[in-house]
Amino acid sequence: MNAPIYTLVRGADWRAAKTVGAYCGSADDTRDGFLHFSTAEQVRDSARKHRAGERDLWLVAVDPEALGAALRWEPASGGRRPGLFPHLYGPLPVSAVVSAVPLPLGGDGQHTFPDGVP
């Protein structure tokens, strides 16, 4: 397995995904036509910019090799952030998930990430 990629999923959406076997994305994902993912180096910034203060948020780690050709590495929408981001064009099969952990909010209102995620 290559290094995992990450997506931030609201708790209700994650629980539903586990029930049906796939995660189809957030409203933002639907609008953009793909599921947004981040590398370990990008995910904290993504949480600060797009999910600040959200409770019941989950950090879902995925094996990129399990996603096949539906995974593409592309610039951020509108070129707002440097680097390439993993985008999944299709639903995320729960079978590709290597871990899913809740991201509690710390006293500073920022999400607390597990060890091993820079």
Q: What is the CATH number of domain 5-102?
A: 3.20.170.20
CB within 8 A of 74, min separation 6: which ones? 84, 85, 87
Distance between CA atoms of 30 and 113, rounded to whole angstroms? 26
In the chain, domain spans: 5-102
In tens, the pLDDT along 31-89 reads 999 999 999 999 999 999 989 999 999 999 999 999 999 999 998 765 566 689 999 99
The encoded tokens of residue 46 equal 């993504």
Using the CB atoms, write b or e for 19-39: b if 16+ within 10 Å.
Answer: eeebbebbeebeeeebbbbbb
Residue 1 has pLDDT above 70, yes or no: no
